Each structure stands twice: as structure tokens, then as C-alpha cells.
Chains A and B, each alone.
Chain A
Amino acid sequence: DAKTTQPPSMDCAEGRAANLPCNHSTISGNEYVYWYRQIHSQGPQYIIHGLKNNETNEMASLIITEDRKSSTLILPHATLRDTAVYYCIVRVGETSGSRLTFGEGTQLTVNP
């Protein structure tokens, strides 16, 4: 699986958009970008995933650059409950059951 690079930490004001970047310059054509987050003392939680088109769900939006070498997770209106470690993961396939390889992620702190 392709390696990802994320900033170790970010801060965001409550109510503002949180934009979390991820670099995956060695991504292959059949690899998807997944985002999970882990709130303190809980297991990771799936947020969103995509291949090359931008994706949106009730939690977040995922913007993937045209060359697919980087992506941005957007939390449109961050709340205190969004404080967590956010993991960007690249993996082969969407339904293959292949492993998730977690890096160290980005610690997002949402401030009041």
C-alpha cells in the first residue's frame, strides 16, 4: 500500500471548516483514499473514502487532486466533538478486504 504523509497536528476554531491535508504521491491507479478518525479512548471510526472523484457524506467531504497525489478531508463546521486523530490511508480495492495500514495521523484540536 502507498505511504501517506500528514501533518502531526492542527488546530481549528469551533464552527469553522477544518481542512486536513494528506500527501500520497506514490498512489497506484487501483488504490483508494480512506479517512478514519479516532477519538480519545475509542476505536477508529470510518469517515469517508474515494478513488478519484470528490466525495461527500453526512460527516465530511473528500477532495482528491486530479493527479491523485494528494487529498483534503473537510469537516465543514467543526465542533468540539471532532477533536480526534485523523488517519489518511491508501489501500488497494474497495471491497477486497485488504488491510488498513495506519500511519500516525493528524491530531486535530477544535478550540471553543
Chain B
Amino acid sequence: EAGVAQSPRYKIIEKRQSVAFWCNPISGHATLYWYQQILGQGPKLLIQFQNNGVVDDSQLPKDRFSAERLKGVDSTLKIQPAKLEDSAVYLCASSLTPGLGTDTQYFGPGTRLTVL
């Protein structure tokens, strides 16, 4: 079974530039999550999608971060404009539809963003 795919794996940009990350969840997984992990800390949820609808975006800095999940499969997370404090690993995870078995979250390898 293919896992969660993310690209790019690494990205270096200057502050005030924009950047986008892509995620392809495990086939059949209706729920998709984006996490931000700052060095030395645990991952923090940014946004959660159920199919193509947003379930939880309470911790997403909406003035600069946006995310979409068109057609309920792939997802893109964008930062515009980037700040130095956005340097982190951005993790995508997916899980089955809640209520259909234990919704174990499967994580991708992450995208490491460095903002200079």
C-alpha cells in the first residue's frame, strides 16, 4: 500500500516570498491533515479536511496560510508571504472516514521549509 506522498521534500525561500506544498493521501482516506512542526517541538495541527470540506482550521494563521483540497483527494498548503518563523517541517497525514474503524493517522515524510 502506498503511503502519504509529499513534495517537495525541501524548500528554501526568502522572507516575503510565497511557497506551496503538495500532499497526496493514501487512497480511500477521506480525512486529510496538515501539521506544522517547529524544530524541537511536536507537530501542531494547522487544518483538517473531511473530503473537500474544512473540519478544523482554528490554528491556521489565515492571514498568510491557505489550504485547499479540490475533489477531496490531493491537497495544497500555501504560505504567502512567508516569515522567518514559518521555518519548520510541514507534515501531511490522512486517515479513514471517522466512524469507519479506528482513524489511525498515517503521516507523510514532510516538507522542510527554510525561510531566510
Q: A97-B55, A102-B42, A102-B43 are in contact. List 14 more A-B contacts (CB 8 A).
A: A44-B43, A44-B105, A44-B107, A49-B102, A85-B42, A95-B98, A95-B100, A95-B103, A96-B103, A97-B50, A97-B97, A99-B56, A100-B43, A102-B44
Q: How far is the CB of A66 from chain B (nearest CB, A)?
A: 23
Which residue of the partner chain, among A94, A102, A104, contacts B102 with CB atoms under 8 Å? A94
Q: Is the interface of A mostly helix, strand, loop or mixed?
A: loop
In Å, the complex CA distance between A96 and B95 comes to 11
In Å, the complex CA distance between A9 and B27 comes to 36
B40 touching A104, Cβ below 8 Å: yes
Which residue of the partner chain, among A85, A100, A104, contacts B105 with CB atoms under 8 Å? A100
B105 CB contacts on chain A under 8 angstroms:
44, 46, 100
Binding site for A on B (CB under 8 A): 4, 31, 33, 40-45, 48, 50, 55-56, 91, 93, 95, 97-110
Binding site for B on A (CB under 8 A): 41-46, 49, 85, 87, 94-97, 99-105
A to B contact number (C-beta, < 8 Å): 59
Chain A CB count within 10 A is highest, among B4, B41, B55, B102, for B102
A46 touching B98, Cβ below 8 Å: no
Q: How far is the CB of A98 from chain B (nearest CB, A)?
A: 8
In the complex with contacts A43-B91, A43-B107, A43-B110, A97-B44 CB distance below 8 A: no
A104 touching B42, Cβ below 8 Å: yes
In Å, the complex CA distance between A22 and B109 comes to 26
In the complex with contacts A97-B55, A97-B98, A99-B56, A46-B104 CB distance below 8 A: yes
A42 touching B55, Cβ below 8 Å: no
In Å, the complex CA distance between A42 and B106 comes to 12
A43 touching B55, Cβ below 8 Å: no
A97 touching B31, Cβ below 8 Å: yes
A87 CB contacts on chain B under 8 angstroms:
42
In Å, the complex CA distance between A42 and B102 comes to 22
